[in-house]
Amino acid sequence: MEEKKYTIKDYRSELKPIWCPGCGDYSVLNALLQSFVNLQIPPHMLAIVSGIGCSSRLPGYVNTYGFNGIHGRAIPLATGVKLSNPAIKVIAVGGDGDGFSIGAGHIPHAARKNIDMTYIVMDNSIYGLTKGQASPTTPVGEQTKTTYYGNMDEPINPVRMMIAYKASFVARAFSGDPKHTVEIFTQAINHRGFSFVEVLSPCPTFRGAEQFKLIREKIKPLPEDYQPTDEVRAFEVANDNDFFHLGVIYKQNRPIYTDILKKLQEVAEKMRESEVLDLLEQFEP
């Protein structure tokens, strides 16, 4: 009998997205579903976890295991899912506010431990769901609901931050280039370890139609001979404020958390047999 081939329909839930017309998140959702088709992952072998925000609604639109958690806590929830069942592909999704404001303390630890998951941030440089407050990626000078006279704070550069945190795969994509976004998601999900993708995903409602145009003017693909394993070069690319370089900016292969944990468990098992029994004998009457 011919093996079942999963199509987009198998991954889409019955819930219709309620994002505003023109929101970049529609394109991110479609790209993610297409990457599942590319990878042919059975829906029951996927778990998508989020925090709270417009972007964090995504797990509801996908026919996989899912968890729409609490604000800023997608990463610890996703870590728990992965540790309890390392066989399934775990994807954490959310916004720039969710990830880089309230949730920022969780990211370095998942990255340095190399938890085998993919983290997708739909970066619109604004708090969309709560109606337009400045976020950690809002550019200096931008007028928002909370920065009437212009944003004073230097924005975070998520790609630079992730390389510094030792994430083993760091990429950037743009919702306005869905074909490239599918490619990047496919590679990120296939990566063994903590993979991060910043998707520039405009919010026309609170950043206006100009946001899409501004991003489109600044995007640039990486050169063909680019080597993502060169950390110094990756920082140079991340630091370039004139352009948004799209592609896999940094990549490193190193052991994942659950493999290291398994090895330590084996060591501990052996210890239980010998040293622990010796130790217990000391307490026998």
Ligand X SMILES: Cc1ncc(C[n+]2csc(CCOP(=O)(O)OP(=O)(O)O)c2C)c(N)n1
Q: How far is the CB of 149 from ligand SF4 (least distance, A)?
A: 23
Q: Which does 204 bind (CB under 5 to 8 A by kind): ligand SF4, Mg ion, ligand X, none?
A: ligand SF4
**Number of H-type helices and E-type strands within the chain:** 12, 8
Site for ligand X in 51-70 (CB under 6 A): 52-55
Q: How far is the CB of 49 from Mg ion (least distance, A)?
A: 17
Residue choice 27, 56, 64, 124 for contact with Mg ion (CB under 5 A): 124
Tokens of 150: 């212009």
Q: x/- binding map, residues 186-215, to ligand X, per CB under 6 A?
A: ------------------------------
Exposure string of 20-47, with b = 16+ CB inside 10 Å and e = fewer, is eeebbbbbbbbbbbbbbbeeebeeeebb
Nearer to ligand X, 122 or 173 (CB): 122
Q: Work out whether strand 89-95 and strand 46-50 pair parallel, antiparallel, or are unpaired.
A: parallel
Q: Which does 20 bind (CB under 5 to 8 A by kind): ligand SF4, Mg ion, ligand X, none?
A: ligand SF4
Query: Kind and range of the H or E element at 94?
Result: strand 89-95
Q: How far is the CB of 59 from Mg ion (least distance, A)?
A: 16
Tokens of 203: 């919010």
Q: Which does 206 bind (CB under 5 to 8 A by kind): Mg ion, ligand X, ligand SF4, none?
A: ligand SF4
Burial of 103 (0-12, 13-18, 19+ CB in 10 A): buried
* CA atoms of 120 and 216, how far apart (whole Å): 20
Residue choice 69, 76, 95, 202 for contact with ligand X (CB under 6 A): 95
Nearer to ligand SF4, 79 or 124 (CB): 124
* CA atoms of 236 and 234, how far apart (whole Å): 5
CB 101 within 8 A of CB 125: no
DSSP tag of 104: G
Examine residue 96 and tell whether it contacts Mg ion (CB under 5 A).
Answer: yes
Residue choice 71, 172, 207, 251 for contact with ligand X (CB under 6 A): 71
Residue choice 30, 38, 68, 130 for contact with ligand X (CB under 6 A): 130
The pair phi, psi for residue 46, each rounded to 5°, is -125, 140
Nearer to ligand SF4, 20 or 39 (CB): 20
Residue choice 97, 193, 228, 247 for contact with ligand X (CB under 6 A): 97
End-to-end distance of the chain based on CA atoms, in angstroms? 66
| List of residues contacting Mg ion (CB under 5 A) | 95-97, 124
| List of residues contacting ligand X (CB under 6 A) | 52-55, 71, 94-98, 102, 122, 124, 126-130, 135
